[in-house]
């Protein structure tokens, strides 16, 4: 829900998982739990794609994000994109950029000429130091062909990070001059890498240190959801305000992810809680309202990632949502079942 500028658009789009399989095993992956619990062979069918496209069109939402796993592993990935484009949807694909030769050639032939207003990619890139040679070559091949349609995405999962390499990608491959910064979140009840709460200010300082170079290269950085306001100093907020022309938000809300088996949940870190079937809802608005309500109730139980969130005037005024709800959920493990019952479902 959060973010700056056009990133807001990505976040209000429903996310449709084409497949549960992935080609990478990132240490921060917040979809890990969901993937592990899912049938690996489960892929979205044509009939379900049409149902979802109808649901969105009926709801007046003409933007769809396709993700996975790795969405390009779906054998009909290119056909699905063509279909949705023909139905006048804006299609945004979250990908690692790693795909087989055959799929890449097909995608290059069919999709590379589509106008950026209709088709876009967010390529989640990892630090080359942590990537294999073949993975890097694959990513570069993807960026070389689809750079003009692509926004780089980088997930922060430790306080000390480095995304210098992205600047080279942006210049070398002509990527869009935006950077989507995600913050890895804990999966309630599971282990994955994420920035601990007490290290968030350190992470924020590192992020702010990047602003001069981002501005010099005319790259706008936007936050994905779950960044709390108070990890930044007043001065840093001023810098961010200028960097993003006043569009600042520190939100956390239901992203609405829909699996190939037509289950729906209110964002990946919470995928093992509150799963429902898409067929239980009449519109995307109904889905959002349902998960908004659960988020709100959870916030009543645990306001935010810090104890101070309870009394925070900025949270009260919804300037900040108190960080990722997944942190709040970690409080509910290993305790008696005493809170609003909806939040356990």
By the rule CB under 8 A, 140 interacts with another protein: no
Nearer to another protein, 45 or 233 (CB): 45
Nearer to another protein, 82 or 237 (CB): 82
CA atoms of 250 and 3, how far apart (whole Å): 7
Q: What is the DSSP letter of 103?
A: H
Q: How far is CA 7 from CA 106, 157, 231, 291, in A?
A: 28, 20, 21, 21
CA atoms of 19 and 260, how far apart (whole Å): 6
By the rule CB under 8 A, 83 interacts with another protein: yes
> Least distance to another protein from the beta carbon of 45, Å?
8
CA atoms of 201 and 256, how far apart (whole Å): 29
Nearer to another protein, 53 or 287 (CB): 53
Ranges of H-type helices in 200-243: 200-209, 211-216, 234-243
- Options 49-57, 227-235, 247-255, 333-341: segment touching another protein (CB under 8 A): 49-57
By the rule CB under 8 A, 79 interacts with another protein: yes
Q: Are 127 and 162 in contact (CB under 8 A)?
A: yes
Interface with another protein: number of residues (CB under 8 A): 16
DSSP letter string, 105-137: HHHHHHHTTS-TTTEEEEEE---GGGS-HHHHH
315 burial (CB, 10 Å; 0-12 / 13-18 / 19+) is buried
CA atoms of 266 and 273, how far apart (whole Å): 9
> Least distance to another protein from the beta carbon of 104, Å?
16
By the rule CB under 8 A, 118 interacts with another protein: no
By the rule CB under 8 A, 78 interacts with another protein: yes
- Options 11-19, 39-47, 271-279, 329-337: segment touching another protein (CB under 8 A): 39-47
> Least distance to another protein from the beta carbon of 57, Å?
5
Nearer to another protein, 61 or 224 (CB): 61
Nearer to another protein, 57 or 301 (CB): 57
By the rule CB under 8 A, 277 interacts with another protein: no
By the rule CB under 8 A, 50 interacts with another protein: yes
Nearer to another protein, 145 or 328 (CB): 145
> Least distance to another protein from the beta carbon of 266, Å?
23
> Least distance to another protein from the beta carbon of 279, Å?
12
- Options 53-61, 140-148, 171-179, 317-325: segment touching another protein (CB under 8 A): 53-61
Type and span of the H or E element at 155? strand 150-156
Asked if the bond preceding 341 is cis, omega within 30° of 0, the reply is: no
Nearer to another protein, 86 or 235 (CB): 86
Closest to 25 (Cα-Cα) out of 98, 85, 87, 83: 98
- Options 66-74, 77-85, 306-314, 316-324: segment touching another protein (CB under 8 A): 77-85
b/e map 318-335, b = 16+ CB within 10 Å: eebbbbbbbbbbbebeee
By the rule CB under 8 A, 46 interacts with another protein: yes
By the rule CB under 8 A, 41 interacts with another protein: no
Nearer to another protein, 47 or 117 (CB): 47
CA 262 to chain centre: 19
Q: Which residues bind another protein (CB under 8 A)?
A: 45-47, 50, 53-54, 57-58, 76, 78-79, 82-83, 86-87, 110
């Amino acid at each position: 829900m959060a973010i700056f500028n056009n990133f807001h658009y990505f976040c209000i789009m429903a996310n449709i998982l084409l497949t549960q399989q992935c080609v990478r095993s990132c240490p921060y992956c917040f979809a890990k739990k969901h993937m592990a619990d899912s049938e690996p062979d489960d892929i979205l069918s044509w009939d379900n794609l049409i149902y979802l496209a109808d649901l969105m069109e009926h709801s007046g939402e003409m933007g769809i994000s396709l993700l996975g796993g790795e969405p390009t592993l779906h054998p009909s990935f290119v056909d699905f994109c063509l279909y949705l484009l023909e139905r006048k949807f804006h299609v945004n694909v979250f990908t690692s950029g790693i795909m087989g030769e055959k799929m890449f050639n097909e995608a290059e032939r069919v999709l590379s000429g589509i106008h950026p207003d209709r088709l876009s990619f967010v390529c989640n890139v990892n630090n080359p130091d942590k990537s294999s040679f073949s993975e890097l070559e694959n990513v570069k091949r993807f960026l070389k062909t689809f750079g003009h349609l692509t926004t780089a995405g980088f997930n922060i999962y430790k306080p000390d990070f480095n995304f210098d390499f992205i600047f080279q990608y942006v210049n070398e491959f002509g990527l869009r001059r935006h950077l989507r910064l995600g913050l890895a979140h804990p999966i309630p009840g599971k282990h994955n890498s994420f920035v601990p709460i007490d290290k968030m200010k350190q992470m924020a300082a590192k992020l702010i240190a990047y602003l001069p170079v981002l501005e010099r290269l005319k790259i706008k950085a936007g936050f994905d959801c779950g960044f709390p306001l108070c990890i930044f100093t007043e001065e840093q907020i001023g810098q961010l305000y200028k960097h993003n022309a006043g569009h600042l938000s520190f939100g956390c809300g239901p992203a609405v992810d829909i699996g190939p088996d037509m289950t729906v949940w209110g964002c990946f870190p919470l995928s093992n809680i509150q799963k429902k079937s898409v067929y239980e809802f009449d519109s995307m608005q109904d889905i959002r309202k349902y998960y908004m309500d659960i988020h709100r109730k959870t916030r009543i139980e645990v306001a935010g990632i810090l104890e101070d969130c309870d009394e925070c005037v900025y949270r009260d005024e919804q300037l900040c949502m108190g960080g990722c709800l997944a942190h709040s959920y970690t409080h509910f493990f290993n305790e008696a079942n005493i809170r609003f019952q909806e939040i356990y479902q």
